[in-house]
Structure 1
Amino acid sequence: MDEINNNLPIGNDSGASLKDIPPKPFWDGISPNTMIISGAIVIAGLLIGLAVIYSNGGFKGLLDDSGQAAELPSSASLIDDDTILGEKKAKLTIVEFSDFQCPYCRKFWQDTLPQIKKEYIDTGKVNFVYRDYPLSIHPMANPSAEATECADEQGKYWQMNDKIFAEQVKKGEGTVQYTLNEIKKWAGEIGLDTKTFNSCLDTRKFKNEIAKDLSDGTAQGVEGTPAFFIGSQVMSGAYPFAQFKMIIDEELAKVK
């Protein structure tokens, strides 16, 4: 499972662009024998694929029981007992599966979420749910996720969510390292009862809740972070606001 970024600049150190390089036929340098063998491999792959399809009931295996094309579940159906940002009765729900230590998740929080909040959440059109998908490569992802649940007991889920991302922004770029003691310090800074919070965090009171989020995300095909379920559509990666806006508007149009 990986972090997913779809918003990185492409370039090189020399300053040369792709248009400076003359086009070269893709077959240049490939021997006729190699082309014949490659063609045979492609044909064999197609035959195997057809065999798999028919072994699962033919092309009907790609349809649901009613004979219709199978659809993704509505994002609203992916809400567990999660804290909702925005109006509970909003027409559209965005569910994010995220990792607190993932730099691309932090990028979405910093650059894109504020615009979504201003245009859609604050106006009552959309609500937003954050579900945890802690990657094994990030040692503080699980403790951070559990920390937000502990903060939620005191009515400050989103304050803790914001605090964890904001403190990482202060530290720098890329994957930022921090400690459990720092999380406890941040809890005090947002006004939590630290004795209650620390006990909750130290006993891992919400570890099963986080594990369920991870399991639910995996069951829906999530393989990396951030991943977004918007109505009936899925987006994976740190896309800019304009691309989110296009999908959100499409989904809102369906529920008018």
Structure 2
Amino acid sequence: MTSSSSSKNSARRGIAIGAAVAAAAVLLGVVSYTATKPGETRTAVSADAPAAEVSADPQAGVYPELAKLARRDPEDSLAQGRADAPVVLIEYADFKCGYCGKFARDTEPALVKKYVDDGTLRIEWRNFPIFGKESEAAARAAWAAGQQGRFWQFHAAAYADDAKEKGFGDARLKALAEEAGVEDIARFSRDAGSEAAAKAVKKDQEEAYQLGATSTPSFLVNGRPIAGAQPAETFTTAIEAAAKTAKAGE
């Protein structure tokens, strides 16, 4: 395929997705719980903040073009769950985001146990660094850990309580890699600083911006946008509705 053909295909894909982006951007921007900003100490959604309204109706709030963003690559080290799972949850997140950490600690483990383990759900991570150099460095480091099959262990270490307060400088990232069980730390450092890491992170970041995401975490569940570290019930409702639709289409 020529460069010109590739560019045209990318443009057509952008136009196809564009019809859904406006609606998604409203959910991922206006309805979103704003991500923790630099200097803020908040790490949880306030108790009086409204939860997103996610209907149990399988068709409500779903944009089929956005569902096509699921990659379903069985070699994707930043994903967990069957590549052919009926439901794909895509998460756009930043390791310096307090709300992303809240989701990782309080909600995601239960979703994995209930839905990933039984083959219903696949979770695909997208690096979406928006808080500066340390965010970018952590994203590349996470990708590098994934090259040795330790992304999710790195993810857990980086989102542990008080982890982000320690920062993501070079020494800290190596310590997190060691904690995650990355075997070859020298390779980890090379991979994190590589052009391949930069390209992978940029690809995810551009996808998020194209979608209209302006804060983290932002999610898609089979094309249904969800913004913020919502209560677990918001995700279970969306996952079960998506599973119902997938089953009906078999």
Aligned to 1:235: 226
**Does the alignment pair 1:3 with 2:41?**
no
Deviation at 1:120, TM superposition (A): 0.6
With 240-249 and 186-195 compared, the bigger mean Cα shift is at 186-195
Number of residues paired by the alignment?
193
**Does the alignment pair 1:221 with 2:215?**
no
Within the candidate set 154, 159, 168, 1:178 is matched to: 168
**Letter in structure 1 aligned against 2:191:** C
Aligned to 1:198: 189
Instruction: Describe how 1:135-146 pairs up with structure 2 within 5 A.
Output: 135=130, 137-146=131-140
Contact 1:90/1:127 (<8 A) preserved: yes
Aligned to 1:30: none
Aligned to 1:254: 245
- Cα distance change on mapping 1:191 and 1:8 into 2, 3 Å: same
- Cα distance change on mapping 1:161 and 1:253 into 2, 3 Å: same
Consecutive unaligned residues of structure 2, counting only runs of 5 or more, are: 1-28, 37-42, 50-61
Aligned to 2:67: 75
**Does the alignment pair 1:188 with 2:183?**
no
Q: C-alpha distance in 2, partners of 1:104/1:90?
A: 26
**Letter in structure 1 aligned against 2:35:** E
- Cα distance change on mapping 1:163 and 1:105 into 2, 3 Å: same
Structure with higher Rg: it is 1
Within the candidate set 147, 157, 177, 1:163 is matched to: 157
Aligned to 1:26: none
Q: C-alpha distance in 2, partners of 1:185/1:249?
A: 38
Q: State the secondary structure of the residue aligned to 2:213.
A: coil
Aligned to 1:154: 148
Q: C-alpha distance in 1, partners of 2:198/2:182?
A: 23
Instruction: Give the number of the structure with larger relative contact order, counting CA–CA contacts within 8 Å between residues 6 or more apart.
Output: 2
Q: State the secondary structure of the residue aligned to 2:205.
A: helix
Contact 2:94/2:216 (<8 A) preserved: yes
Q: C-alpha distance in 2, partners of 1:202/1:228?
A: 27
C-alpha offsets along residues 66-90 of structure 1, whole Å, 9 cap, x if unaligned?
Answer: xxxx945243533286432011111
Consecutive unaligned residues of structure 1, counting only runs of 5 or more, are: 12-69
C-alpha offsets along residues 98-153 of structure 1, whole Å, 9 cap, x if unaligned?
Answer: 11110000000000001111111111111100101111x34321111111211122
Contact 1:92/1:127 (<8 A) preserved: yes
Deviation at 1:186, TM superposition (A): 2.0
Q: State the secondary structure of the residue aligned to 1:228.
A: strand
Q: CA RMSD in A?
A: 2.5
Q: C-alpha distance in 1, partners of 2:190/2:101?
A: 27
State, as a whole percentage, how many aligned pairs show the same letter: 24
- Cα distance change on mapping 1:95 and 1:115 into 2, 3 Å: same
C-alpha offsets along residues 181-213 of structure 1, whole Å, 9 cap, x if unaligned?
Answer: 111122223142011111222345411111111
Deviation at 1:6, TM superposition (A): 8.8
Taking structure 2 as the reference length, the TM-score comes to 0.70
Q: C-alpha distance in 1, partners of 2:114/2:138?
A: 28
Q: C-alpha distance in 2, partners of 1:146/1:139?
A: 11
Aligned to 2:21: none
Deviation at 1:240, TM superposition (A): 1.1
